[in-house]
Structure 1
């Protein structure tokens, strides 16, 4: 599966006894993905909160439309859990992210400064919560909080399980990265890069370093593309990529088993939130 671009010199997968061959970057099924809130679902949840917030703000004389390009607070870029791993992406975009979607904005940013007290439920001069005895009748936590309460209605708490799935996914990746099976192959990936003229520290650092270099440039130059292709080639030829995927999946399975009840509750809560959001958006 290794690419032929650049200077070769890595051990092939078939000859590498350190390689765990069960994984595949393109086809891997991650056990914890089923519990994640998708980008589209998160946008729906965010819009529902904004709609309730809008209705509340109108009661206080602030009528601000919910923007079409509403931000859900989540960046939608390349999958870089293993650094750069997609050869097609490397060939066309180097370390650049895919063409960005139209700039998104938060609903809160559309309000004038004088709306802060009602929006956030906080006195801007003192930083203290507006008391329930306030004559304006500002809801606890402001109109923003009223929107959140409407979304979370029927669940035990607004943050009963926090962002459980994402926390467990990050933990599994961290543990897989530190695993000896992966660390051995990171060294082989580094050796492969060195033979091609590159000094690499970690797969993530290489991706971040190039991303920082390319800030403000609309497309990659040939130097970046060559480096990106070599990076991906070395991940494949060393066996790092598939092994890392396999070990990550392994840790996710263990995490799923250990946290099965929490995950069940977490999914049930998210399902309720999505139903609440659908009701809110249907009512308009």
Structure 2
């Protein structure tokens, strides 16, 4: 059975992670030996499910992410600590009131499904409910700070007003206080580089490598499972059936992914009649080939294999999440000093 190699891990939508070790690898630094990259064999699927939406669906990696409520708690506590720190230096910094979070797992599953009724009203544009959700998750506008305040926030100033600025500034103070006692996640050797724990060159001390975030590993694996499912031969076969179905309605697209990535849908504020007609045909063809159900089942299989391989590191992620939520809850209840 064919196995799929890992190309790269990145905290964006498409990346690849895999199960059997192979000899190719990626260099972690100029003087470091190459680390072996893993691969995953395609998971067995006894029957393709046929859900019509992502509602009620879950994926195994969901257990290693903060819930939207927990994310709000952590963000608000960090913001409060940052604000308190800035106040000690004579600067005002608004506290995040707690925007509604968006589940990363929801974001992977949501685009797979398109109902005919939604397509007929919105085409590929976000629904009113989706627009409100995204707006809420973004929170308020970034505060406008004076140059002096910015140096205290980011830690580019060593001191201000005769007081020592915390290492990394008030932003890092808030973040690190909430993460106090959190387990350090051990990344697989092939994911690590020589400068993983360092901020980008020229960046303020408050910045850190993305890999230092406890959510880096599960997010990368979530993205990787999606990419592997997308490149699975069964998805390719479903795409071929979907493409043939679309041609019957006069539309030439090679895959569902291609139609979702068509930039012309974002060129207008409202869907055109042409967009709506395309989306309706797309919705019907996806149901015909069980596209959403297949992609969901494949991700289930790939994620289970990943969790088995990286159980120890993922348990560290879970411990780190528990510590962050515990610390944040204490801050919000007034039981922790800033």
TM-score when normalising by structure 1:
0.78
Structure 2 equivalent of residue 85 of structure 1: 113
Q: Aligned pair 1:236/2:270, yes or no?
A: no
Q: Aligned pair 1:163/2:216, yes or no?
A: yes
Call closer, same or farther: CA 1:98–1:199 in 2, change over 3 Å. Answer: same
Q: Distance in 2 between matches of 1:234 and 1:82?
A: 17
Match among 213, 234, 241 for residue 265 of structure 2: 213
Match among 87, 93, 108 for residue 64 of structure 1: 93
Structure ranking higher in strand proportion: 2
Call closer, same or farther: CA 1:283–1:59 in 2, change over 3 Å. Answer: same
Match among 141, 164, 185 for residue 168 of structure 2: 141
* Contact 2:76-2:96 at 8 Å conserved across structures: no
Q: Number of residues paired by the alignment?
A: 256
Q: Distance in 2 between matches of 1:172 and 1:115?
A: 42
Give 5+ residue unaligned stretches, structure 1: 1-18, 124-129
Q: Aligned pair 1:203/2:237, yes or no?
A: no
Instruction: Specify the SS of the correspondent of 1:283.
Output: coil
Call closer, same or farther: CA 1:162–1:144 in 2, change over 3 Å. Answer: same
Over aligned residue pairs, what C-alpha RMSD do you find? 3.1
TM-score when normalising by structure 2:
0.66
Instruction: Specify the SS of the correspondent of 1:164.
Output: helix
Match among 155, 174, 185 for residue 121 of structure 1: 155
* Contact 1:35-1:165 at 8 Å conserved across structures: yes
Give 5+ residue unaligned stretches, structure 2: 1-44, 186-211
- Structure with greater contact order relative to length (CA < 8 Å, sep ≥ 6): 1
Q: Which moved more, 1:139-148 or 1:247-256?
A: 247-256
Structure 1 equivalent of residue 59 of structure 2: 30
